[in-house]
Chains A and B, each alone.
Chain A
Amino acid sequence: MMMPLLPEVPVADKAAAVDAVAAIAVEFGRDDLANRLVVAAARVRRPATIVCVVGEFKQGKSSLINAMLGLDVCPVDDDIATSATTLLRFGDEPSVVVRRRRGDGVTVERVDPATLADWVTEGGNPDNSRGVERVDITLPHPLLANGLVIVDTPGMGGLGAGHAAATLSFLPFADGLIFVSDASSELSAPEVEFLASATGLCPNVVFALAKIDLYPSWRRIETINARLLHDQADAPVVVPVSSVLTPTGSELPDEKLVEMSGVATLLARIDSQIVSPAKAVAAQRALHEALGAVRQMKSALETELDVLDNPSHLAEIVARLTESTAHLEQLRGPGARWSIVVADRLSDLSSNTGHQFRGAMRSVSRDIEAGIELLKTPDDWDQLARQLQTSVADAVTKVFVEIEGGAQSTRHAVVDLIGEDSGDDLSASTRSVQVELASMWTSRGIDALGKRGTRQLSSALVGLRGAQGGIMMFGMMATFLPAGAAALLMSNPITISIGAAFAGVQLADARKRKIAQRRQQARSNVRQFLDDVQFAVGNEIGDALRDVQRSIRDEFTGRISELLRTYAETAQTAQRAATEHGEFAQQRVVALGASLERLSLAERSLARSSAE
């Protein structure tokens, strides 16, 4: 089987260095530190980088993803299109999990991979009638093993689909975007418009000019497209691709055709622009974590050595450790200041975002209802439907951006507080290492973004890439926004005037009445739609905030527990050391010296790696 592989990454050595420290930690009986480092090293090898594949309807998005994977994963059909957002990421076992919004609730169920088409295509799931918000597919695939997460989106063609707004609102959360447009014709006006907005929101936009096997004049189209995008400040890189030339399944590869297919170029680009930088950032963070762990272990050994050399120091050391431990115990308890601060801040965040969102929805509702009265031409209706979609998308994005921002500032506040409360030990170790808010989605440094993106992103958007909330939001919006356009367009009175000249002048009055009826209906449709959005988003805000709170608590309690263990064990060994005499003490001093030597060596090598 032909498997397009990414080139070897230099950060592998850094991951290995971190793994080495983890091994030392195991030897020293610090499995808690080891576990954290193993996770950090895994993230270096597999940083979750989200790449969104978007484009108008029937441009070959799913085919391209299949070609990238060299596997037939996404259902492809001449007629039937993808209707639900699909997310592909690495997993040891192939699995398909469907997340659905039914009525007022959300259900998540694991389904047979063979039934995928029933969930994600227009055939099995027309107009997404099954309410699929997102389908998560995991695959044990080498491409995904690098941490790439691919999002296959329903075609955003036409206003009806409404996915353009959903996609744009998601881009601040994505690392890269593959824009697919086929070589049958030059870019359409909506496509150019989308690209113009997208390149401002996402640092890595690649334009895949698809189906070059089918169109003799694809080079002309490429030139014309380049001219159309000429005015844009940051025109995307164009990669001509042909999905059919990359064999999938058991087919034998033909080198020449594979080269012609351009898929390898696309993958190389994704690797160099998205995956490798993410790995570099993850590596930097992992090295910091490893350094922190080495220092903790070193300080324990140095204390023991100190007591062996000068048993008289014991009392002082034990006193200091007891004091620190008492501090930490207090910090770990439910009455700790930071814990109260977390609760307070998040409850503030919750009421603020809720309030803002309700306000935003109210003003959207007012604007749209006023707009409905003023509509005259069919273009006005389109305009209004678009306005409805973008203002809802904007409002929702704002809420999630705010939640992510609030979570970050809460973390920083906690670090500061703990620093005040506990002396510098803990705050130094936590400050040097940015810890994630949740699961794999936030596996990367937030601070290093500026280095990766070539362009200055608005500060409000920094720190969102990879955030869990984004994926959540995307699925939800992709489900909701089409309904928004439908709410308006389905009651578009303009359809009444089709063939008006045919129907004759006599019917003009009847038509006017009907138009008034339609306006009324449009108003109530929009109200209903906004009501639904408010309910669903309200629930998501609640869930997201609970997640944030839990992860911040877990993170800091974990760190405190690690330090407590360090102190407790240090106190123990120090007491034991004070009782050691003679030859045994001599041996112990030598052993400690060797261990410290090892740790110093590891420390130096980490520092060197980190500086590179």
Chain B
Amino acid sequence: MSLPRSIADRVSIVCDEAGALAEGTAFAGDVAAVRARLDGALRIAIAGRVKAGKSTLLNALVGERLAPTDAGECTRLVTWYQHGNGYDVVAVRADGRSVPVPFRRVDGALQFDVDALQLDTIERLVVSWPSSALRRITLIDTPGLASLSVDNSLRTSEFLALDESRPSEADAVIYLMRHLHRRDAEFLGSFMDRSVGDSSPVNAVAVLSRADEIGAGRLDAMSSSRRIAERYAVNETLRTLCSAVVPVAGLIAEAGLTLREDEAWALRQLAATPDPIRDQMLRAVDAFCEPDASELTVELRRHLLDRLGVFGVRFCVGEIRGQRSTSAGELAAALVAESGLDAVRQLIIHQFLPRADVLKARTALISLRTIAEALRSVDVIGGSRLAALVEQCEASTPDFARLRLSHLVASRTVAFSDDQRDELDVLMAQSTDVYERLGLDRDAAPAALHAGALAGIERWRTLGAAPMADVAMREACETMAHTYEGIFVELHEPSGGHV
């Protein structure tokens, strides 16, 4: 059987077969769900401890104030934010049935009216919202871990459960952490892995959140937090868990993306206040809201603080006074730039989205394998056939082997030297340019290409056959050798026909 080259198409075919095999059984619905997930957007979960700023970051990524944020713990249910043509919120219950949830918007944020529902029967809320930011990704807000309400913590743990036979509901994870103890970074490993079950440096990044509050909201807060993030990023343990650590001031980003002209006006008024009075006001929130301190109403000042925080107000006043930005548009841009949000977006674009197909296909196959197992109990032949198909697809798709290799190397399960890691990066690059992948100059002779590929095969075969190599190392070497073989085959069959 000739398989299509694209991984999505290959898995899609298995899915079709599975649909046919499961038709009329209790598992038809499960297969349909797998199909939907395969065709749907990449699911990115935002996880972290309670009050880490998960909902705020989610709002910033959507560019709209959707998720309710509050001083107290407020996300009580796993909530999905996905693209939809209309505005719609439903609660999905544990038995799979959906119930519409009434909602209203208060100051932009959604307020779900879940009082009529039994919270413990609800698996998740699904918010469909027409937003361009949600076209390619679905964002999932989770209740905080180590939350005082045991139920909330449990919900998140269940959602992100570590279970080898069952795929996680999320394809990728953004893990939010607040400033940690130096030693805690070492222990983050065990914490993170239990919170974000099916994660690996290939699909997880860490965000140092509420960065504006580091250093008591001083104007240099962001550079201070960048330094801290850099320190974490080189931490050995963290490197085996996530590929990057970036600081983000979610509140600043959210405010920047939704800043209104009247708010900018109020900020300009503040900037125009005489220095001693303003300095006094900016010392503390209570001083800022002192009734006689300013012409602006106390309500308005409170509103500014809620929206921007102390750092945000200080930053905007500084911008206006330095005449770097004055209009709402300029202030908004400055806030977003300062917030570090762009770094998270870049990670999503460069890290998650290029791998989206492989990640989704992988989840689909794991689900299908489980379905095959279950199907076997009612239809031995059908179940076995599906299992074989899954097996075949997995074995014949080099992308999975490469994803696994990336994971093994990035998580330091196999110890590659720095040179070997560089070689891997070049070899696995998205590039289709053989010269580049083999690390050769463009004017190299065709014979050099052959020799390069052959040398690669030889080198990794030898390494893999070394007596000290463990299972993981053998697998890694094998994948490397296979990849060189692939290149060698390509050199001989320029048409690219791969069997």
Q: How far is the CA of A497 from the CA of B190 in the complex (A)?
A: 10
A450 at the B interface (CB under 8 A): no
Query: Cβ of A186 and Cβ of B194 under 8 Å apart?
Result: no
Q: Which of A214, A218, A490 contacts B217 (CB 8 A)?
A: A214
Query: Cβ of B286 and Cβ of A260 under 8 Å apart?
Result: yes
Q: How far is the CA of A496 from the CA of B412 in the complex (A)?
A: 10
Q: A160-B181, A188-B148 known; A501 and B167 CB under 8 Å?
A: yes
Instruction: Kindly report which residue of chain A lies nearest to residue B404, judged by CB atoms.
Output: A504
Query: Cβ of B183 and Cβ of A494 under 8 Å apart?
Result: no
Query: Cβ of B404 and Cβ of A220 under 8 Å apart?
Result: no
Q: Which of B50, B183, B231, B411 contacts A482 (CB 8 A)?
A: B183
A58: B residues at CB distance < 8 A = 179, 181
Q: How far is the CA of A228 from the CA of B475 in the complex (A)?
A: 51
B128 at the A interface (CB under 8 A): no
B124 at the A interface (CB under 8 A): no
Q: A503-B408, A506-B471, A509-B471 known; A244 and B284 CB under 8 Å?
A: yes
0/1 interface trace, chain B 459-479, chain A, CB 8 Å (1 if under): 000000000001110010000
Q: How far is the CA of A489 from the CA of B49 in the complex (A)?
A: 20
B309: A residues at CB distance < 8 A = 214, 216
B403: A residues at CB distance < 8 A = 502
Q: How far is the CA of A377 from the CA of B195 in the complex (A)?
A: 12
Query: Cβ of A126 and Cβ of B182 under 8 Å apart?
Result: yes
Q: Which of B213, B285, B407, B475 contacts A499 (CB 8 A)?
A: B407
Query: Cβ of A507 and Cβ of B472 under 8 Å apart?
Result: yes
0/1 interface trace, chain B 177-197, chain A, CB 8 Å (1 if under): 001111110110111011000
Query: Cβ of B404 and Cβ of A502 under 8 Å apart?
Result: yes
Instruction: Kindly report which residue of chain B lies nearest to residue A186, judged by CB atoms.
Output: B72
B240 at the A interface (CB under 8 A): yes
A375 to chain B, nearest CB (A): 12
Q: Which of B168, B221, B286, B411 has the most CB of A within 10 A?
A: B286
Query: Cβ of A245 and Cβ of B284 under 8 Å apart?
Result: yes
B199 at the A interface (CB under 8 A): yes
Instruction: Kindly report which residue of chain A lies nearest to residue B241, judged by CB atoms.
Output: A498
B325 at the A interface (CB under 8 A): no
B194: A residues at CB distance < 8 A = 377-379, 494
Query: Cβ of B182 and Cβ of A497 under 8 Å apart?
Result: no
Q: How far is the CA of A490 from the CA of B183 in the complex (A)?
A: 11
B305: A residues at CB distance < 8 A = 216
Q: How far is the CA of A256 from the CA of B280 in the complex (A)?
A: 10
B196 to chain A, nearest CB (A): 9
B214 at the A interface (CB under 8 A): yes
Query: Cβ of B148 and Cβ of A186 under 8 Å apart?
Result: yes
Q: How far is the CA of A550 from the CA of B227 in the complex (A)?
A: 53
Q: Which of A184, A260, A500 contacts B287 (CB 8 A)?
A: A260
A233 at the B interface (CB under 8 A): no
Q: How far is the CA of A509 from the CA of B470 in the complex (A)?
A: 11
Query: Cβ of B184 and Cβ of A502 under 8 Å apart?
Result: no
B119 to chain A, nearest CB (A): 19
Query: Cβ of B51 and Cβ of A186 under 8 Å apart?
Result: yes
Q: How far is the CA of A369 from the CA of B200 in the complex (A)?
A: 31
Query: Cβ of A500 and Cβ of B224 under 8 Å apart?
Result: no
Sample 11 A-B pairs with CB under 8 A, ordered by A number: A157-B181, A158-B184, A217-B306, A218-B285, A224-B71, A244-B216, A257-B280, A377-B194, A494-B190, A498-B241, A510-B471
Residues of A that sit less than 8 Å from B by CB: 57-58, 78-79, 81, 83, 122, 126-127, 155, 157-161, 184-190, 192, 211-218, 220-221, 224, 228, 242, 244-245, 254, 256-257, 260, 377-379, 381-382, 482, 486, 489-490, 492, 494-507, 509-510
Residues of B that sit less than 8 Å from A by CB: 49-51, 71-73, 146-148, 162, 164, 167-168, 179-184, 186-187, 189-191, 193-194, 198-202, 210, 213-217, 221, 224-225, 227-228, 231, 240-241, 280, 283-287, 289, 302, 305-306, 309-310, 366, 403-404, 407-408, 411, 413, 470-472, 475
